[in-house]
Homo-oligomer: A and B are copies of this chain.
Amino acid sequence: MISQRTDTTSLANALRAGSRAALARAITLVESRRADHQAAARELVQALLPQTGSAIRVGITGSPGVGKSTTIDALGMYLVGQGHKVAVLAVDPSSARTGGSILGDKTRMARLSHCEQAFIRPSPSSGTLGGVAAKTREAMLLCEATGFDVILVETVGIGQSETAVCDMTDFFLALMLPGGGDELQGIKKGLVELADMIAINKADGDNIKRANITAADYRGALHLLSPRSEHWHPPVVTYSAISGTGIAELWQKVLDHRKAMIASGEFASRRREQQVKWMWTMLEQRLMARLRTDPSIRTKVKKLETEVAEGRVTPALAAEQLAELLN
């Protein structure tokens, strides 16, 4: 590398020109653990910042089997048909362990993966949820700078990954399946707080009636919960990813939400809050990194964690000792 600055500048220009190959390289730079790559990535994203922020950012979650990939394939193709450029990213902190990202198998998005107007990138496969989410956020900004105007961020419905995706998107969509009597799957409690819409997939053929009943049940339940915004009551819709029925209506809800949030000023304030929260999260990760990476410190951390868990050391005293390890 003769000059990193020159490289970063030309890479930024290639992104601005809409190069998908440059975008892929830029995301690889963001995902690199090398310190010089990380510095270059920070410089690159900062340089591209004026070209970011105008995409519609949608988070999508759902349990395995709900048809997430089929839904993204159908929704993505619909959006491309509407003239959009669609980027699909993922936050899956388990992908390193399971040996492959949920998006690794691109055949699961059969049409979208062959589409020139779409860009699909698997989840970063290393590190903590915080690290994975941070890299996906930066990748999102890079996609926006490259001209993608809809970003779909997929996540598995596990633990805190949904919160992380909600924190980087404007609209959070929860996918569910039609239930039947006792089989009705519960809505995960944490999800209720995050979801801007619940969409019930597989509302086709014999399932339509069951899907409608499920939707009515969920609507009734959501009605008893205070909405996060007084300008948006999360709707419950049905659709079929396979037949395409309801996909246009589903997207219209995303646009309705955007319009309502922009009108009320919540859109701008949510984006501002998200950005400030990212900053603090990244600082925390930086400060904690040594505790997690330095092997001799890690051993001491594990020991303290055990002693605290077993009630032999107070959290206050342990925190004091951890702080000393960092000095």
Contact = CB atoms under 8 A, between A and B. Distances in A.
Contact of A309 (B272, B312, B322): B272
Interface string A119-140: 0000000000000001001100
Interface in A211-237: 217-218, 220-221, 223-228
A226 B285 CA distance: 31
A279 B226 contact: no
Interface stretch (A10-18, A71-79, A97-105, A184-192): A184-192
Interface stretch (A20-28, A42-50, A80-88, A247-255): A42-50
A82 to B, nearest CB: 26
Contact of A193 (B189, B285, B322): B189
Contact of A286 (B217, B278, B285, B323): B323
A215 to B, nearest CB: 12
A317 B225 contact: no
Contacts of A284: 284
Interface residues of A, number: 63
Q: Chain A: interface secondary structure?
A: helix
> Which A-B residue pairs are the 4 nearest by beta carbons?
A186-B226, A278-B315, A282-B319, A279-B315
Interface of A: 41-42, 45-46, 49, 52-53, 134, 137-138, 141, 184-190, 192-193, 217-218, 220-221, 223-228, 271-273, 275-276, 278-287, 304-305, 308-320, 322-323, 326
11 contacts: A49-B313, A49-B314, A186-B225, A192-B193, A218-B224, A272-B310, A279-B319, A281-B315, A283-B323, A286-B319, A286-B320
